[in-house]
Amino acid sequence: MSESLEGKIAAITGAASGIGLAAARMLLANGATVVLVDRDEKALSKLTAELGDKAIAQITDLLDTESCAAMVPEILAKVDHIDILYCNAGTYIGGDLIDTDTTTIDKMLNLNINAVMKNVRDVIPHMIERHTGDIVVTSSIAGHYPTHWEPVYAASKWAITCFVQTMRRQMIPHGVRVSQVSPGPVISALLADWPEENLRKAKESGSLIEASEVADALEFMLTRQRNVTIRDMLVLPTNFDRV
Distance CA 191, CA 6 (A): 33
Nearest in space to 147 (alpha carbons), one of 221, 89, 94, 189: 94
Which three-class secondary structure string do you get for 139-191? CCHHHCCCCCCCHHHHHHHHHHHHHHHHHHHHHHHHCEEEEEEEECCECCHHH
Active site residue 153: yes
Count other C-beta atoms under 10 Å from residue 240's C-beta. 16
Rounded Cα gap, residues 10 and 51, in angstroms: 14
Catalytic residue among 86, 92, 145, 153: 153
- Give the whole-angstrom CA distance, residue 175 versus residue 226: 8
Phi, psi at 138, each rounded to 5°: -80, 110
- Picking from 125, 116, 33, the residue whose alpha carbon sits closest to that of residue 80 is 33
- Residues known to be catalytic: 153
